[in-house]
């Protein structure tokens, strides 16, 4: 049994199904609303939690997954049409058993977010953004949030609004970015695309790919808008971190990443 719900201060609306479920949510979303997906067992599921975003195969590590509806600055990395207005279509289904052994981009998840729980891949980082209005540091600024590099959109010629979202380091020389898979996977290739609004942007000439098994690989990047590929074979890892980022000698303090793809399949 699967159950999809939109839960908020004014109660909840839900739908149920055996192997597939969809929910048509008629009202406009309100701050505090959360999409809740409940399943019988952890595993791979195909979800579409917003109809302006493509569906994705995600791993649920628990029998519940929570997706808070983004509001305020957290909405910055999305289309201006996303989560807006009335009549929203949400769907989920159990992935075919063969999906686990199909080579695919294991990092793809347009429904990731800082406050998500139970759904993978999930991005984490150590960058903070200053919010001068509230006089505090925030772990997420939507336009430069870590989720932006795995949402499937690539328009890396600019640093402005959607569809030019990216992950920025906010001048942190020790910045790192981690993709958590939620289970063991086998990978064979990592692909990156830097943001390249030169001369506003800088770029990294070198970085480290650090896996959960403590192995590391140094990669060298070029000043290009093209996707850059790096063969990387690892078995049974649960996360991959991009770290030890070395900027070029150009004057801009603003390097950024627009795309991260990690190809492989679920470990046996």
Q: Tell me, yes or no, whether 250 and 149 share the same domain.
A: yes
For residues 39 and 152, membership in a common domain is answered with no
In-domain check, residue 112: no
Q: How many degrees, rounded to 5, is the angle at CA 31 between CA 114 and CA 59?
A: 35
Give the pLDDT of residue 138.
Answer: 52
If DSSP codes are grouped into helix, strand and coil, which group holds residue 147? helix
Q: How many domains does the chain have?
A: 2
CATH of the domain at 142: 2.60.120.260
Q: Which structural domain range is residue 60 located in?
A: 2-102
107 domain residue, yes or no: no
Residue given tokens 């020389």 in the structure block: 173
Residue 219 has pLDDT above 70, yes or no: yes
**How many other β-carbons are positioned within 10 Å of the β-carbon of residue 29?**
20
Predicted confidence (pLDDT) per residue in 65-93, tens digit? 999 999 988 888 999 999 999 999 999 99
Whether residue 87 is found in the same domain as residue 128:
no
Note whether 244 and 128 are same-domain residues: yes
Report long-range pairs for 132-141 (Cβ below 8 Å, ≥24 apart): 138/73, 139/114, 140/73, 140/74, 140/113, 140/114, 141/73, 141/76
User: Quick check: 35 pLDDT over 60?
Assistant: yes
pLDDT tens-digit series, residues 138-177: 555 788 999 999 999 999 999 988 999 999 999 999 999 9
Residue 63 and residue 141 in one domain = no
Q: What is the mean pLDDT of residues 199-211?
A: 98
**Both tokens assigned to 183:** 């289970």
Q: Are 177 and 242 in contact (CB under 8 A)?
A: yes
The yes-or-no verdict on residue 265 having pLDDT over 80 is: yes
8 Å CB contact between 44 and 73? no
Residues 61 and 164 in one domain: no
| Whole-number Å distance between alpha carbons of 29 and 7 | 10
* Contacts for 20 with CB less than 8 Å, ≥ 6 apart: 2, 91, 92, 93, 94
In the predicted structure, residue 195 carries a pLDDT above the cut 50: yes
State how far the Cα of 114 lies from the Cα of 122, in Å rounded to an integer.
Answer: 8
């Amino acid at each position: 049994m699967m159950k999809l719900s939109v839960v908020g201060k004014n109660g909840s609306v839900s739908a149920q199904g055996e192997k597939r479920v969809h929910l048509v949510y008629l009202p406009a979303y309100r701050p505090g609303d959360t999409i809740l997906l409940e399943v019988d067992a952890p595993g791979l599921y195909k979800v579409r939690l917003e109809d302006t975003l493509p569906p994705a195969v995600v791993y649920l590590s628990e029998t519940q997954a929570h997706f808070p509806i983004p509001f305020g600055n957290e909405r910055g990395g999305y289309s201006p049409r996303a989560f807006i207005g009335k009549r929203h279509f949400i769907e989920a289904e159990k992935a075919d058993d063969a999906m686990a052994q199909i080579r695919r981009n294991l990092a793809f998840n347009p429904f990731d977010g800082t406050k998500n729980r139970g759904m993978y891949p999930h991005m984490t980082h150590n960058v903070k953004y200053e919010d001068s209005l509230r006089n505090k540091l925030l772990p997420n600024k939507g336009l430069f949030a870590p989720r932006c590099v795995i949402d499937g959109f690539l328009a890396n010629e600019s640093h402005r609004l959607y569809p030019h979202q990216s992950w920025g380091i906010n001048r942190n020389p020790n910045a790192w970015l981690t993709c958590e898979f939620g289970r063991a996977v086998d990978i064979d290739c990592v692909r990156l695309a830097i943001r390249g609004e030169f001369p506003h942007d800088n770029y990294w000439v070198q970085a480290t790919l650090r896996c959960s098994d403590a192995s590391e690989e140094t990669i060298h990047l070029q000043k290009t808008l093209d996707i850059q590929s790096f063969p990387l074979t690892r078995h049974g890892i649960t996360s991959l971190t991009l770290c030890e980022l070395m900027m070029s000698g150009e004057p801009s303090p603003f390097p950024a990443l627009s795309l991260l793809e990690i190809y492989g399949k679920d470990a046996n």
